[in-house]
Structure 1
Amino acid sequence: MDKRIYLLAFVNFVLGCVEVVPTGILCPISRDLGVSVSAAGQMLGIFSLVFAVSAPVLQVVTARFERKAVFLCALVVFAASCLWSALAPDYSSSMVARGIQAASSGVMSAIGFSLAAQLSDPAYRGRAIAVCAMGVSCAVVVGIPLGIMMTNSFGWRANYLLVMGLAAFCALGVIAWLPQQPGHVTVPLRMQLHTLSDIKLLSAHAVTVLLMWGHFTIYAFLAPFLERVAGIGPHLTSVVYLLFGTAGMLGGWLGGYSSDRWGGGRSALIGGCLLALSLLILPFAAGSLWLLLPVVAVWGMTSWGVTPSMQHYITINSPETAGIQLGLNLSAIHLGLAIGAAVGGVAMGRLPVSYNAWIGAAVVVLAVLAIYYSIRQPKKTRLVLA
């Protein structure tokens, strides 16, 4: 496999760290910025919302420009926004910086996966894309516990300075190793959205939104949940996040394997049921660490496993627009995360944080019903762009 694929995976790791690290340090962020924990949680929501909206638009806007130059420009903007976050004097300024980080991440993510496919031999293309995606997985496994340790030692802003340094290192790698790639004509956004006239595809993307919404309603506020409900301190909190991330990586593999074996729809249906069950019993398991850890493991496996299952389901049902559908599904994922953070923040401001898990479980149940509905819809023989 081309060694440059690992550079792209590392870039994804850096981007993933900025996206997920605030999850584990919401309490220190809220204290420093003088806002509630639920308001601090919206730093996650604004990232996901801007990513969901800007990614497809910026892909179209920048498509005709040389790819390496666009990638490098986005990386420079990303690094500058990390410095902005490290120095931001207040909550509003921090939120603006998060929005810029999300927009630049969306550009780099799209170009990175495209370059990974182009740099690899056709026989290794799937593995190249998987290696590239592992960067984000590693950010959850390593980034969140590392972020908690960095915050305990140097303060939460130090995380952004570290990421800025890593982004500068990535920029040197991009300049030295990545080839120039010409721009290309892309499918206009209007035509991409036209593919959603197929109710089977539209409902499948709706399933993704609901699954991520339910998951993130509690995951965005897992740190305060562990502190207030389970009585767990910062050290054990990092252990729980490490377990969740490790289980998530295993779940991603299991989701892909089960989709190949039994179909993406059936795999997502089973995974959704297990996800809803794990969220339902999570508050009851919080009284004992030995009960909590296996529930968190199941939650991590299923929340990450349903994503490849749904992507498999979507591409199988519309192979002629597979690239478009995967791009739209990436936006659906982040839209769900944004809604989950918003709903979770509102719920946490009015109810004990344990209710976030039950609200999330109810939303996942809706997702399971939507999966069942989508499976029963007839498949169009061919989708024509118009």
Structure 2
Amino acid sequence: MKRRDFLSTAALGSAAGVLATPALAQARPNVSWRLTSSYPKSLETLYGISDHVARRVAEITDGGFQIQPFAAGELVPPLQALDAVSEGTVECAHTLGSYNIGKDPTWAFDTSLPFGMNTRQNTAWLLYGGGLELVNEFIARANVRSIPSGNTGAQMGGWYRKQINSVADLNGLKLRIAGLGGEILSRLGVVPQQIGGGDIYAALERGTIDAAEFSGPYDDEKLGFQRVAPYYYYPGWWEGTANVGLYINLDAWGALPAPYQAALEAACTEAMTHCVAKYDNGNPDALMRLVSSGAQLQAFPDDVLTAAFAESRKLYAEYAEANENFRKIYEHWSVYWTRQQQWLRVAELPYDYFTSAQIGR
């Protein structure tokens, strides 16, 4: 190659390099978001999904996409997280759709329905059964979309100052409970109270409420409910699963480059897997510690469960008749629920029941 040709080629290569650098920069812009959580930092699993998503997104995008998480109350109150996202005050939030049933009961589908599916079934419905598409179609009117990002698994039935021996004992009971479970229990005489996680203990201690449900042993132990309400009931039929969504402002989502959208979806899926695993790992030992420290483990009487189940189906039928949004998703959800229960009765449930019955034999 002649020297003149070599210099010309080199010059073209240098120019191409200069042109390529801005192109790469445009493909990976710097994006900064704020994420508000409905949970305090003391609940390191539920709040921890926010840290997990932020860290993994930054790693996947080589620092191009930064998300700064904030605990409940640092930016907005815990029960106003979704409103903050909808209005664009923050780009995203970790919260429960069921906190917003006062606006429309259809929001509950993104968390769970009482006497609904378990965690595996609900995840299958959201990711493969068409549930998430229906949910996001509904919540788009609030200028948000949801990505499943965490889950508590089946929860406990809460902490009570007095024993519940029959449906009659529910009459006048002031119970902290979120979601449609409170609507169902109100039909059985309960006075539901919606209180953020960080404020429950004080309400119990002052006697503002008579009982409180929150999550399961791993979280409940940290909140110290056993010191002020000794009776610990199960099962938490109002949340056989509790999907925590990452709610994202639609305008912010639309402005996000496709690779960053993919990174966020991947990080959320990973966070959900870790969240479930952490609860499954921590709940057994936490329950034993709670019982050892004086918590009195109690099962809800059959008449309470039977009455609550009957009221749940009546409530859903009423919502479906009066609310087109609810009816559209409920009809789809109900068919899926029935199919999942039929399969559960064949393999999963008999296996779990038999093996758990072998303890101590």
Larger Rg: 2
Higher RCO (CA < 8 A, seq sep 6+): 1
What TM bracket, shorter-length normalisation? under 0.3
Higher helix residue share: 1
Instruction: Tell me the TM-score normalized by structure 1.
Output: 0.26
